[in-house]
Amino acid sequence: MSIRSSPLLPHILRYQKRSLIGTTSSGRFSTFASPKCAASDPDQLKSAREDIKELLKATFCHPILVRLGWHDAGTYNKNIEEWPQRGGANGSLRFEIELKHGANAGLVNALKLLQPIKDKYSAVTYADLFQLASATAIEEARGPKIPMKHGRMDVSVPEECPEEGRLPDAGPPSPAAHLRDVFYRMGLNDKEIVALSGAHTLGRSRPERSGWGKPETKYTKDGPGAPGGQSWTVQWLKFDNSYFKDIKEKRDNDLLALPTDAVLFEDPSFKDYAEKYAVDQDAFFKDYAEAHAKLSNLGAKFDPPEGASQETIILHKFNQRSSWQQNTINWKERALGCYETKDSSRIRKGLGGTPDKPLPTNYFLNIIISSLVFWQF
């Protein structure tokens, strides 16, 4: 028996023709529709996250990616209803006019790091990419898991960027009042202000960019990454609660404490949370994760309106795989003309052979039958 004369051939060819209609772009079968996410493609988001992890390992850019996401979202004004005039996480920080805002000094370097990933995954918006990078940087620095969702739409032109002056200053005359003015405008409260301040456990301040900090310290003179600057903590690439401990103790002149840091232990309301986080890292991680997720959604216009959570994306991948498996099983059965069983002995017997007496003239067909029946995914 030749493969051309095999009774399997019409079934195989017919099913191959039909299966082309129901395949995904990767060639896998799927009867499940992708979660509707017109803003960003779920598969590309997942792959972009893996590339961001590799970027972090290679460049130690955790702090600047966190800052990029924060500054894109932190322009939100809850008192403005219209999008994108209200600001927030909309990808506007990719435009030169906003990158030149004083508070965004140095963030062009973060954009340069992420641009190759954006070019590779063109179906991911800048707004989603900035927030994905920020959350991933926290998690890869051993911080808490951030409950993110995606589907943020991008602004289209530089004219849609927010005006300068919506982000916090490091050394205002009245630090507590300034923090509340800025963060209350975003719809955040005192607990969220203190929790988010704890992200200063990562990174350094460079005087050439912000006007604050020393050119270098014993903790930063050798990097990793570009050397220099002054950090808030000794291990400034590890996310933990040491920021609160160090600000409270004020023991090390090589560690930075801005006026907006020190006020967390001076203002009565802020102090309650700062004292708590200094002794309870679990509480800090919980409150920080919730505050970061809230910040990352501020002002965003989602498509779909409810956004697509990472759990939805994972479920989509699982459903897609399960559908592929089921379709492949159906393909085996249809191609073999055997709908009631996957027992290879019955199949071979129907074609004139048995396990003890395989088809004598077609070794290749015997291999196909075994593979079709016992192939596991």
Residues known to be catalytic: 71
Q: Which two tokens stand for residue 4?
A: 């051309």
Q: 5 Cβ partners below 8 Å, 6+ apart?
A: none
Q: State the alpha helices, DSSP H only, in the chain.
A: 8-19, 42-59, 62-73, 96-99, 107-120, 126-140, 175-185, 190-197, 207-210, 242-249, 259-262, 268-279, 281-297, 310-336, 344-350, 363-374
308: left (phi over 0), alpha (psi -120 to 50) or beta: beta
Helix (H, G, I), strand (E, B) or coil at 308: strand
Bridge pairing between strands 149-150 and 308-309? antiparallel
- Residue 149, classed as helix, strand or coil, is strand
Q: Six-digit token pair at 372?
A: 């079709």
Task: Return the DSSP state at 302.
Answer: B
**Interatomic CA distance for residues 377 and 362, integer angstroms:** 26
Residue keyed to tokens 């019955």: 346
Q: Is 345 helix (H, G, I), strand (E, B) or coil?
A: helix
- The half-sphere exposure of 31 on its side-chain side, counting CA atoms within 13 A, is 10
Q: Which of 54, 59, 32 is nearest to 43 (CA)?
A: 32
Measured at the alpha carbon of residue 102, what is the angle toward residues 298 and 175, in degrees to the nearest 5? Answer: 70
What is the rounded CA–CA span in Å between residue 199 and residue 195?
Answer: 8
